[in-house]
């Protein structure tokens, strides 16, 4: 890959241009060949990302605006603008936006995308069927597969999953 460094976003401009009521992912790193993922996410006042655990990736969370709290096990960390927080893999966590909402940037190693490949047929004489469908575990906003069997909010972008 022969990538050239480039400015991808000016956060002050991006945040100023987003409608105040807009929530979820405001921006995503989408360049081909990247080894990182990054998202700018806005949660409205009182909204949150439910408790979850990321088993594979460490995440860096940088607060850009508003305030909120991060519950991790028995601790609650206060989040204000310019707070940089490391979320180690396997640590359970939940986010809640404060009265003015919460806007933050997350950065982590890129997770390989989901791919659909033809299933190998069952061995002769074996019974079976299709693998269980996991589409209800894919975030409708960012496409990330949730590790939670009954997700409420996406741990990557904060969007609410549809009611089942």
* Contact predicate 23/42, CB 8 Å: yes
The pLDDT value recorded for residue 115 is 56
CATH number of the domain that 59 lies in?
A: 2.60.120.10
Domain residues for the domain of 91 are 11-111
Q: Does 134 reside within a domain?
A: no
Q: Does 4 reside within a domain?
A: no
- 86-107 pLDDT tens trace: 999 999 999 999 999 999 999 9
Question: How many domains are contained in the chain?
Answer: 1
Residue 129: pLDDT over 60: no
> To which H or E segment does residue 53 belong?
strand 48-53
As a whole number, mean pLDDT of residues 95-122 equals: 78
Q: CA dist 143 to 14, 34, 91, 108, 113, Å?
A: 22, 17, 22, 16, 9
Residue 153: pLDDT over 90: no
Q: Does 149 reside within a domain?
A: no
Residue 4: pLDDT over 80: yes
More confident residue, 94 or 119: 94
d(CA 44, CA 21): 7
Whole-number mean pLDDT of the chain?
Answer: 82
Residue closest to 109 by CA, chosen among 66, 61, 52, 56: 56
Q: Does 42 reside within a domain?
A: yes
- 31-85 pLDDT tens trace: 888 889 999 999 999 999 988 888 888 999 999 999 999 999 889 999 999 999 9
The values of phi and psi at residue 45, to 5°, are -50, 130
What does pTM read for this prediction?
0.68
Residue 115 makes CB contacts below 8 A (sequence gap 6+) with none
The pLDDT value recorded for residue 143 is 67
Q: Does 160 reside within a domain?
A: no
Q: Does 2 reside within a domain?
A: no
């Amino acid at each position: 890959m022969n990538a050239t460094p480039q400015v991808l976003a000016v956060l002050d401009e991006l945040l100023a241009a987003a409608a105040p009521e807009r929530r979820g992912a405001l921006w995503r790193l989408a360049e081909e060949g990247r080894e990182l993922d990054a998202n700018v996410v806005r949660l409205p006042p009182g909204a949150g990302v439910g408790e979850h655990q990321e088993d594979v990736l460490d995440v860096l969370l940088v607060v850009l605006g508003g305030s909120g709290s991060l519950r991790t096990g028995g601790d609650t960390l206060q989040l204000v603008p310019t707070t940089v927080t490391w979320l180690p893999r396997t640590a359970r966590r939940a986010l809640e936006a404060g009265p003015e909402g919460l806007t933050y940037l997350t950065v982590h190693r890129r997770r390989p995308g989901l791919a659909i490949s033809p299933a190998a047929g069952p061995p002769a004489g074996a019974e079976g069927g299709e693998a269980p469908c996991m589409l209800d575990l894919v975030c409708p906003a960012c496409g990330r597969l949730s590790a939670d069997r009954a997700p409420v909010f996406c741990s990557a972008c904060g969007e609410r999953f549809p009611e089942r």
